[in-house]
């Protein structure tokens, strides 16, 4: 029953969000039990976030496009956080109302969605996810003075002079260095990197390349684009170069194709991957033999015994009858950071909320411990997992202070 309910909820939210981003008026999705009041489109003037009997927050999700399942998990994680706060009495005597909009995994739609939510008077925004989309909306949220919480991991986000853009996952400066360091720990002498040519991939590429130079590791790299379907030339170049370990830094679909072709073309080396290989949707795209023994650096490993993660997993499974993964866990954490910021501020004034989020420290969430640093990075730890019979097994945690 719950699985069916979740699917129906997503379909309703999708219809409403598509209308919203298209500029039509739609009802909000949330658990507050009341609909949003009439909203005013943003035209240079700020809509007060203090109006009404509810606290409005928004989620820019990716319900259509390349990764709709990831968007569904984002929705579920954020909705669960909202439901938990509302069940506990809300914040400052008000219930939280969540509006979900779909950026279709496109940069221009992410900007459209951000403007729509800002015009509706949200206190803060969770999302968008991809680094390219986060970079696309950063000027919008800065100008409007609305805190946004992205899971985009490119190191470029840390260099932005933007008090209002927060990152609710670890930066690739942590992820990528941890991947290279673990490759070295595995005995790597000559490293090959497969990377996506977008901001996500090139951000990691710079970190890994520098790590190899600093640590005397030979280095070979091959780039590719989102949507590519055949990586035979890249795989064969790695094989001919004689690498003993490869790191793969790309998105879900391309990662699954790499896994198949590395196996079929006989590139018999150690593999360390970006977080995707630990996620069920990628694992389901691969035969067990494709990824057996692979390592992944990731935010979330379901087999970890961390008490906060265990409690989150149990509650998520009870609510949705499915196992959570990193998108659900990361954006649950992002929503908690926003809601704790509102609570600490004692008001829905957007600037006050931003300043309160900057003061967050030692806040435990499923992907680690949130402490905001000078770059608005909230999470500073990752995990290493090993794939065994299609199950990510927790190996160790890595923290960067």
Nearest one of 350, 319, 309, 321 to 83, comparing CA atoms: 319
H/E stretch holding 387: strand 381-388
pTM over 0.75: yes
User: What sign does the dihedral 65-66-68-70 (CA atoms) show?
Assistant: negative
Asked if 261 and 238 count as a contact pair (C-beta separation under 8 A), the reply is: no
Regarding whether 105 and 122 lie in a shared domain, the answer is yes
Q: Is residue 45 part of a domain?
A: no
Regarding whether 252 and 194 lie in a shared domain, the answer is yes
Which class for 279: exposed (0-12), middle (13-18), buried (19 or more C-beta within 10 A)?
buried
Instruction: Read off the pLDDT of each residue in 29-57 and give the average, rounded to a whole number.
Output: 49
Domain of 202 in residue numbering reads as: 171-297+382-396
pLDDT exceeds 90 at position 328: yes
Q: How high does pLDDT run on average in the chain?
A: 88
Q: Is residue 25 part of a domain?
A: no
| C-alpha–C-alpha distance, residues 360 and 336, integer Å | 11
Lowest mean pLDDT among 106-110, 253-257, 276-280: 276-280
Instruction: Read off the pLDDT of each residue in 261-287 and give the average, rounded to a whole number.
Output: 96
Instruction: Read off the pLDDT of each residue in 388-392 and give the average, rounded to a whole number.
Output: 96
Regarding whether 234 and 249 lie in a shared domain, the answer is yes
- Look up tokens 């995990």; give the residue: 383
Regarding whether 315 and 289 lie in a shared domain, the answer is no
Provide the number of structural domains found in the chain: 2
Does 99 or 16 have the greater pLDDT score?
A: 99
DSSP collapsed to 3 states, 148-216 = EEECCCCHHHHHCCCCCEEECCCCHHHHHHHHHHHHHHCCCCEEEEEEECCHHHHHHHHHHHHHHHHCC
Nearest one of 105, 283, 111, 279 to 198, comparing CA atoms: 105
For residue 321, what are its two tokens? 């009858």
End-to-end CA distance of the chain: 44
- Which residues have C-beta within 8 Å of that of residue 43, sequence separation ≥ 6? none
Q: What are 60-72's pLDDT values in tens digits?
A: 999 998 889 899 9
Asked if 381 and 369 count as a contact pair (C-beta separation under 8 A), the reply is: yes
Q: Is residue 74 part of a domain?
A: yes
Q: Is residue 126 part of a domain?
A: yes
Regarding whether 82 and 62 lie in a shared domain, the answer is yes
Q: What are 208-249's pLDDT values in tens digits?
A: 999 999 999 999 999 999 999 999 999 999 999 999 999 999
Regarding whether 123 and 58 lie in a shared domain, the answer is yes
Nearest one of 198, 189, 183 to 247, comparing CA atoms: 183
Regarding whether 217 and 196 lie in a shared domain, the answer is yes
Residue 139 sits in a domain whose CATH number is: 3.40.50.2300
Nearest one of 103, 270, 263, 109 to 182, comparing CA atoms: 270
Tell me what pLDDT residue 31 has.
Answer: 36
């Amino acid at each position: 029953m719950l699985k069916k309910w979740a699917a129906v909820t997503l379909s309703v939210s999708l219809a409403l969000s598509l209308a919203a981003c298209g500029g039509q008026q739609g009802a909000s999705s949330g658990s507050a039990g009341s609909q949003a009041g009439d909203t005013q489109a943003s035209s240079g003037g700020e809509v007060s976030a203090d109006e009404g009997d509810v606290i409005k927050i928004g989620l820019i999700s990716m319900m259509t496009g390349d990764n709709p399942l990831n968007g569904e998990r984002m929705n579920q994680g954020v909705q669960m956080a909202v439901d938990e706060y509302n069940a506990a009495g809300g914040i400052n005597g008000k219930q939280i109302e969540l509006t979900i909009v779909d950026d279709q995994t496109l940069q221009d739609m992410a900007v459209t969605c951000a403007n729509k939510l800002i015009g509706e008077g949200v206190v803060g925004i969770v999302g968008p996810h991809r680094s390219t989309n986060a970079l696309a909306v950063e000027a919008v949220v800065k100008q409007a003075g609305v805190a946004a919480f992205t899971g985009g991991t490119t190191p470029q986000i840390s260099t932005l002079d933007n008090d209002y853009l927060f990152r609710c996952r670890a930066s690739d400066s942590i992820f990528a260095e941890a991947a290279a360091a673990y490759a070295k720990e595995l005995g790597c002498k000559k490293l090959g990197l497969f990377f996506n040519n977008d901001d996500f991939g090139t951000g990691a590429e710079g970190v890994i390349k520098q790590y190899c130079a600093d640590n005397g590791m030979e280095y070979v790299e091959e780039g590719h684009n989102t949507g590519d379907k055949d990586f035979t030339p890249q795989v064969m170049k790695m094989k001919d170069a004689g690498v003993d370990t490869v790191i793969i830094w790309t998105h879900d679909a391309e990662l699954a194709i790499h896994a198949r072709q590395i196996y079929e073309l006989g590139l018999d080396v150690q593999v360390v991957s970006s977080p995707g290989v630990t996620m069920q949707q990628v694992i389901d795209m691969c035969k067990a033999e494709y990824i057996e023994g692979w390592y992944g650096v990731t935010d979330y490993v379901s087999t970890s015994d961390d008490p906060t993660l265990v409690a989150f997993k149990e509650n998520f499974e009870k609510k949705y009858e499915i196992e959570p993964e990193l998108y659900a866990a990361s954006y649950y954490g992002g929503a908690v950071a926003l809601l704790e910021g509102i609570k600490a501020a004692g008001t829905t004034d957007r600037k006050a909320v931003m300043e309160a989020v900057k003061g967050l420290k030692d806040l435990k969430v499923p992907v680690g411990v949130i402490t905001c640093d000078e770059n608005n990075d909230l999470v500073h730890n990752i995990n290493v997992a090993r794939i065994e019979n299609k199950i990510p097994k927790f190996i160790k945690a890595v923290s960067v202070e």
